[in-house]
Amino acid sequence: MLNRAGSLSRPVPLAARCARTHAVRGFKTSTASLAAARNASPKAVKKDKVEKVSTTLTEQSQIRIKGETAGDSAEYRTFPNLWLRDNCQCGSCVNPDTRQRNFDTFQLPKDVRPVKFLETEKALEIEWSDSHNSSHPWLWLRSLFKKGYIEEFGKDHPIRYWGQDVRGESIKEMPPYVDYEHALNDKEGMARLTRNIWMRGFCFVENSPHTPEATESLLKKIGPIQNTHYGGFYDFIPDLAMADTAYTNLALPAHTDTTYFTEPAGLQAFHCLSHEAPPDADPSEPLGGESLLVDGLNCARILQKKYPDAYDVLRAVKLPWHASGNEGIAIAPRCAFPVIEEHGNTPFRIRWNNDDRGVVNVFQAEQWYDAAQKWVEIVRHESNEFWFKLNPGRILIFNNWRIMHGRSAFQGTRRICGAYVPYDDFVSRYRTTNFEHEQVIGHNLHSSPSDTLARSKTDYNRIIAGP
């Protein structure tokens, strides 16, 4: 067996190994980890978390771990041998620079089995029948116990809806914001920016230099600029340089952008660099051009509550979407998508732009139009609309999967710059600035319990069975 110094000691008979429980070690999450978990969610730290574990080798030569809580209750996890061997985290199995697997899983012996193991401070070390010594962080193994996933990897901040039927402070009174220099040059500033976008769907960045270069620099700190048929970073005036209503001075109702992409743009940003009145303008009249935001996920929540049948229609009926106004361009997603997309029975993405919507299937038309009318009534309800003026020095960044945006008509020439940022890159920046690095890696590599479904009750019971 591997001893504490890393050398081999005399083998222990299998029967003795099966009967013996190795030294029980206590687990204490670091102060920083606990703080991150508390910051992530009030429910992230629980009284009944696993406090100590002990490891045994079963008669079937499988690793079994017993997890005990402060209340003296216990859980068991018996791990498939190939699963453990495949998930070795030693330097030869996982490239320390790229964090990618370094070997061919399917060249491993199908009957590979553990022959010895050792509990160290940071990991469970196993010697295998193919002579490999593997390392398995306790952080990862503990995550497989009840509620352990959140305990070890943290929990994303809760989504905070705003608008109709939401108690508390009005979004108009306390909109989320961060200072430009703080977000650009300080990790905590970027954490605050991305956290606000994650929780509230948008964030203002105040005191920005009035230049496209400054705007682009900030956005690139979040993630790469997403290129589309409009280009990358945009800087435009209402001159119809592209065949899109956005390039006019007309009013735009609340909508999401790029509904016609298989995966719509994640973040969108606007910075109004200038707004000049026309030569014949009346100085006493406002120029218009107020901006509008609507929390689409909150609207979906309201629709589901008030009109559940309409909600079911908008999440079930798939529609064609398109961008066809420019010469040589005819973009459509690889398949039709509904207005409301769900994951685990929870809305996560809104795809809504009546201008870019294709033809509703005639056999579903009546129910869809009825449901869409109810949807529009909610979206346009005064309590769901947040109107404000974008002025030079204030950048708006929002989650295009959640927040619908629009504007009022305006006079004169308004210069707007901004860009799209892919959703996955935004989430990466959010997590890496708000949580510890190893938590993020573990979160990315392990399935959430809500995403895990055992093939059968027999499989499930075999994993959780005790002695």
Q: What would the pLDDT profile of 207-237 be if each residue is shown by its tens digit? A: 999 999 999 999 999 999 999 998 999 998 8
Beta strand 202-206 with 177-179 is parallel
Q: What is the largest CA-CA distance in the chain?
A: 96
Q: Which of 419, 417, 428 is nearest to 210 (CA)?
A: 417
Listed range (187-196, 325-334, 417-426) with the worst mean pLDDT: 325-334
Higher local confidence (pLDDT), 316 or 38:
316
pLDDT in tens, 352-392: 999 999 999 999 999 999 999 999 999 999 999 999 999 99
Examine the pLDDT at 134 and tell me if it is beyond 90.
Answer: yes
Q: How many domains does one find in the chain?
A: 2
Contacts of 408 (CB under 8 A, 6+ apart): 251, 288, 289, 290, 292, 387
Paired strand residues for 78: 64
DSSP state of 385: E
Establish if 170 belongs to a structural domain: no
Burial letters 123-161, b for 16+ CB under 10 A, else e: bbbbbbeeebbbbbbbbbbbbbbbbbbbbbbbbbbebbb
Does residue 73 lie within any of the structural domains?
yes
Do 358 and 406 lie in one domain? The reply is yes
- SS3 string, 406-429, reads EECCECCEEEEEEEEECHHHHHHH
Rounded to whole angstroms, the Cα distance separating 397 from 418 reads 9
Do residue 441 and residue 420 come from a single domain? no
408 lies in a domain? yes
Q: Which CATH number covers residue 452?
A: 3.30.2020.30
293 part of a folded domain = yes
| 165 found inside a domain | no
Say how many C-beta atoms besides its own lie within 10 A of residue 267's C-beta.
Answer: 26
| Residue 322 scores a pLDDT above 60 | yes
Q: Are residues 275 and 297 in the same domain?
A: yes
Give me the domain span that covers residue 260.
Answer: 177-433
pLDDT mean across residues, the chain: 86
Give how far the C-alpha of residue 208 lies from the chain's centroid of Cα atoms, to the nearest Å: 27
Query: 42 and 113: one domain?
Result: yes
Most trustworthy range by pLDDT among 52-61, 327-336, 347-356: 347-356
Same domain for 399 and 335, yes or no, is yes
Q: Do 254 and 294 contact (CB within 8 A), yes or no?
A: yes
Q: What is the DSSP letter of 96?
A: T
What was the pLDDT predicted at 456?
66
